[in-house]
């Protein structure tokens, strides 16, 4: 059984999509959701889906002996960032090489880096009159949005699209592709 831990900061729609996708499969399981926001809606989703979840603060995240110890004990096959807004500390990147992935709501290397998340990305895409955008699923390294690219999917941006319209298109791509890409990483022969 392959085990996933999800890190999320907000509503948890991607986390829920991943959880429900793998509830239908016997060979992969989401064993824990961790959040840096004790009021995140992802916690409500986890309760409803009967998935263990916990929140932590910056001190617990930055000090190796707390979050790191928990992760080492569980020893996940993959750590998935699904709307997680904090930079992953170097000690975690080194402890789990090529086992931490993130989804970014743009076609990296465009619109990546510190502060480029959610509507900030979609507003920048709109402001620059891009004709296409998309999602990037990538490995996490010591720098924001610079890890090796695993997968990208594109969508058109129409001149009439608002940032909200772009966000909706991106959300559809995330829902369609993120669980499948995770599965292809964990079970390369089965996809």
Would you call 104 a catalytic residue per the annotation?
yes
Distance (Å, whole) CA 185 – CA 145? 19
Instruction: Considering the candidates 104, 122, 138, 177, report the single residue annotated as catalytic.
Output: 104
Tell me which residues are annotated as active site. 104
């Amino acid at each position: 059984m392959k085990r996933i831990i999800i890190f999320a900061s907000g509503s948890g729609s991607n986390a829920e999509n991943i959880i429900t996708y793998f509830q239908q499969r016997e060979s992969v399981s989401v064993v824990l959701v961790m959040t840096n926001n004790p009021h995140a809606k992802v916690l409500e989703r986890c309760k409803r889906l009967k998935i263990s979840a916990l929140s932590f603060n910056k001190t617990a995240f930055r000090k190796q002996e707390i979050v790191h110890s928990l992760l080492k004990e569980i020893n996940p096959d993959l750590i998935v960032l699904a709307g997680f807004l904090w930079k992953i500390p170097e000690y975690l990147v080194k402890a789990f090489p090529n086992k931490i992935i993130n989804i970014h709501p743009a076609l990296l290397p465009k619109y990546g880096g510190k502060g480029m998340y959610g509507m900030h990305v979609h507003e920048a895409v709109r402001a620059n009159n891009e004709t296409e955008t998309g999602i990037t699923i990538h490995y996490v390294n010591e720098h924001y949005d610079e890890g090796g690219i695993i997968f990208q999917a594109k969508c058109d941006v129409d001149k009439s699209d608002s940032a909200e319209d772009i966000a909706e298109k991106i959300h559809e791509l995330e829902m369609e592709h993120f669980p499948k890409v995770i599965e292809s990483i964990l079970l390369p022969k089965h996809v």
